[in-house]
Amino acid sequence: MAKKKKPRKKRKSKKKQSLALLFARLGLLAGIWTGVAVFFYILYCAVDLPDVHQATQPPLRPSVELEAKDGTVFARYGDLVGEPVVLSSLPDYVPEAILAIEDRRFYDHFGIDIFGIARAMARNLMAGHTVQGGSTLTQQLAKNLFLTPKRAIKRKVQEMLLALWLEHEYTKDQILTAYLNRVYLGSGAYGIDAAAQTYFNKSARELNIREAALIAGLLRAPSRYSPLHDPVQAFERSKIVMRAMVEEGYITEDQQRDAVATAPKIERKITSGNSERYFADWVYDKLGPLISDTRQDMVVRTTLDISLERLAEKHVQDILSKQGQAKNVTEAALVTLAPNGEVRALTGGRSYRTSQYNRATQSHRQPGSAFKPIVYLTAIEQGLTPDELIRDEPFRIGGYSPENYDGKYRGAITARTALAQSINTVAVRLLDRAGIGKVIETAKDLGIASPLKRNAALALGASEVTPLELAAAYASIASGGRAIEPYAIAQIRTRSGKLIYRHPDVRPPQVKDADAVATLTDMMKDVLLYGTGKTAKLGTRPAAGKTGTTSDYRDAWFAGFTADYTTVVWMGNDDNAPMKKVTGGSLPALLWHNYMLEAEANLPEEGLKSNSIAEQFLDAAGAVTEDVSKAFSSFIDSILGGEAP
């Protein structure tokens, strides 16, 4: 008789089945809830998606490119955007270079490349770190147009959703065209045409294979592979792109060899100096009132002389590095003006990379005795002569009692010697004699815009000014009493060449008596010959100037001019800490001397301006002739339609 199966075993089998069923149900339930969670998370990510219809609109990211006086591009602000391109206008190898290195399956996927993602994951696992991404061109376009670079799951999900949406709304050619017009390609260039203009000074339609490959190679790391920064690495990267183009059948091996044999010529190079950034920032801030349409790319021709700017930077760095620490001086500023007011050099500090604060234009510091020529000019206009004797002795004016730097008093002294030796008591006496109001009026006429205190200490430069303001005042003296207004923008044009603004070429008005200014200039020569500014003397070259030192050695200045340039030097500390006995006649005068000697090296020696009454008549006659000539030229330009009024 057969034995019956034990019921216990059956119960165990049923129990196993029930557990398997339970796990299956739990797994199904978990999957459902996971799917629901994923669905709602996708909905959450989709809530704030932007409108993809912006994708094909032309980019509006205008740039401002700054050129030096000689046309050298030295700075760029904003984004450079070229002419919008269409695929049919480009050589086939231009978009193919990008497809070969960035998205070979572009015309085969639906916005998300599953195979590309799998391939990238496999390579990243083998390498142990991220070496390849799986994003398609459509995803890159979505990210560049609508999303931030922040790495986050939500952003990646939104990127994929936008890519699917773009693929649904637009054709592949439209997406590729938008990508070519919007992608960032380094050095401030957005779009293939802007990159072609930036690196090769040509349209994207004129690119050759090597140039197209170089631009395509920028996509991986625009700053790193920019030919403006590292041409060798950029060219090596372009070879990788061309190999990929051969693999895809876009070009032949013979075309690759020919392209590699001829390295592209980089036409446009932005200088990478330090100190011209101070000048660039200052100019950029002044553009607003001069332009009405801010949507266009602009090219601004400035008055900057790159060679002078680099020279100023070199000498500032040299003197501070050698003597700054020992003398407890950490900063300096230098401004150079041409006789017509063009700012040829402007160094706002020791290092722009360390501090962007522009001490030449923003820092208000007491000029000390560098203000005295303004007092003397006012007194000369009222009858003071260089040989007039004035008492150098203790006295009080109101509650103020001026003291000389050396604590000594010389008795009767000529005005010429008092200025050369920077005698404080004489300057205060002349201020009292000429009238504080008249001195302030003279300062304003010469270009000092900062408010000046109405007290006796004004004679000793107790009111703050900027180095640029003081340069304007000294340039006005150098011009024979004409109001010289510093300017840095010569003209502004659109990238297509249309003139937007041109600095008016007008003769500065005569604001001070020319004979009085000539007398003052003659007295200021003695400051360099035997006075406090002997260190600044330029050999046999005629020059005039004045030293300036404030209380406790917190500021030290030398301001002076030749027939060619007016230059002002300031030295001190941002925290107003005292220097170690640095006077205007020491380090600032030395810096001025070293810089000006090299700046004037190839220029003929000319006498300083001395406008007599007869010379004023001749100048006036010449000015009338010049103005008539300019008016006629402007009339012809307006007829031809090439210039703005």
Residue 139, in any domain of the structure = yes
Least-confidence region, from 69-78, 180-189, 582-591 = 180-189
Least-confidence region, from 187-191, 349-353, 481-485, 610-614 = 610-614
Residue 525, in any domain of the structure = yes
3-class secondary-structure state, position 560: strand
Is 598 among the residues known to form the active site? Answer: no
pLDDT over 90 at 206, yes or no: yes
Predicted pLDDT of residue 595: 98
Range picked from 16-25, 249-258, 288-297 for highest mean pLDDT = 249-258
Q: With cut-offs at 50, 70 and 90, classify the pLDDT of residue 600.
A: very high
**536: domain range?**
309-485+511-607
Residue with the two structure tokens 């590309």? 116
Long-range contacts of 108-117 (CB under 8 A, 24+ apart): 109/136, 110/164, 110/167, 111/136, 111/138, 111/139, 111/160, 111/163, 111/164, 111/166, 111/167, 112/136, 112/138, 112/139, 112/160, 112/163, 112/164
Domain boundary among 261, 289, 324: 261
Q: With cut-offs at 50, 70 and 90, classify the pLDDT of residue 617.
A: very low
**Strand ranges in 303-427 using DSSP code E only, listed in sequence order:** 331-337, 343-347, 389-392, 411-414
Q: With cut-offs at 50, 70 and 90, classify the pLDDT of residue 642.
A: very low
Mean pLDDT of the region 172-190 = 84
- pTM of this structure: 0.69
Record the tokens describing residue 606, joined without a space. 């000319």
Which is more confidently placed, 525 or 199?
525
Tens-place pLDDT, residues 64-108: 889 999 999 898 877 666 778 888 899 999 999 999 988 888 888
pLDDT over 80 at 308, yes or no: yes
What percent of the chain has pLDDT above 90? Answer: 54
CA angle 211, 216, 217 (to 5 degrees): 95
Tens-place pLDDT, residues 137-148: 887 877 766 654
Residue 178, in any domain of the structure = yes
Record the tokens describing residue 17, joined without a space. 């089945």
Together in a domain, 446 and 338: yes
Together in a domain, 160 and 197: yes
Q: At what angle do helices 253-261 and 209-217 cross, to 10 degrees?
A: 80
Q: Is 576 left (phi over 0), alpha (psi -120 to 50) or beta?
A: left
Together in a domain, 118 and 236: yes
Domain boundary among 202, 234, 261: 261
53 to 68, 136, 156, 621: CA distances (angstroms): 41, 19, 20, 64
Together in a domain, 162 and 256: yes
Strand partners, 346: 335
Together in a domain, 621 and 557: no
Mean pLDDT of the region 549-565 = 97
Q: With cut-offs at 50, 70 and 90, classify the pLDDT of residue 12.
A: low
The four Cα atoms 184, 221, 114, 142 give a dihedral, to 10 degrees, of -20
Together in a domain, 165 and 203: yes
Together in a domain, 593 and 618: no
Together in a domain, 616 and 557: no
Residue 338, in any domain of the structure = yes
Q: Under a CB-based contact definition with an 8 Å cutoff, are residues 384 and 515 in contact? A: no
d(CA 559, CA 545): 5
Residue 466, in any domain of the structure = yes
Q: At what angle do helices 192-200 and 209-217 cross, to 10 degrees?
A: 110
Buried b / exposed e along 249-279 (16+ C-beta atoms within 10 A): ebbeeebbeebbeebbebeeebeebbbbbbb
Q: DSSP letter string over 229-251?
A: T-HHHHHHHHHHHHHHHHHTTSS
d(CA 318, CA 581): 19
Residue 15, in any domain of the structure = no
336 to 258, 286, 298, 411, 438: CA distances (angstroms): 50, 19, 26, 38, 28
Predicted pLDDT of residue 112: 80
d(CA 523, CA 506): 30
Predicted pLDDT of residue 45: 47
Least-confidence region, from 45-59, 67-81, 630-644 = 630-644
Burial of 78 (0-12, 13-18, 19+ CB in 10 A): middle
Q: With cut-offs at 50, 70 and 90, classify the pLDDT of residue 633.
A: very low
Tens-place pLDDT, residues 501-533: 999 999 999 999 999 999 999 999 999 999 999
Predicted pLDDT of residue 525: 97
Q: Among the options 65, 83, 96, 102, which is catalytic? A: 102
* Average pLDDT value over all residues in the chain: 83
Together in a domain, 616 and 603: no
Q: What CATH number corresponds to the domain at position 110?
A: 1.10.3810.10
Predicted pLDDT of residue 111: 76
Long-range contacts of 153-157 (CB under 8 A, 24+ apart): 154/44, 154/45, 157/41, 157/42, 157/45
Q: Which amino acid is at 403?
A: E
Together in a domain, 235 and 319: no
Which is more confidently placed, 289 or 300?
300
Q: What CATH number corresponds to the domain at position 543?
A: 3.40.710.10
Which is more confidently placed, 44 or 169?
169
CA angle 276, 281, 286 (to 5 degrees): 125
Domains in the chain, number: 3
Least-confidence region, from 68-77, 293-302, 452-461, 513-522 = 293-302
Half-sphere exposure of 362 (CA within 13 A, CB side): 14
Mean pLDDT of the region 162-177 = 84
Predicted pLDDT of residue 645: 25
Instruction: For residue 414, give the DSSP letter.
Output: E
Together in a domain, 253 and 351: no
Q: Among the options 187, 369, 479, 586, which is catalytic? A: 369
pLDDT over 90 at 437, yes or no: yes
105 to 111, 138, 144, 209: CA distances (angstroms): 10, 11, 20, 21
Is 102 among the residues known to form the active site? Answer: yes
Residue 408, in any domain of the structure = yes
pLDDT over 80 at 38, yes or no: no
Predicted pLDDT of residue 638: 44
Predicted pLDDT of residue 260: 87
Together in a domain, 190 and 144: yes
Residue 328, in any domain of the structure = yes
Tens-place pLDDT, residues 327-354: 999 999 999 999 999 999 999 999 988 8
Domain boundary among 204, 231, 261: 261
Predicted pLDDT of residue 155: 56
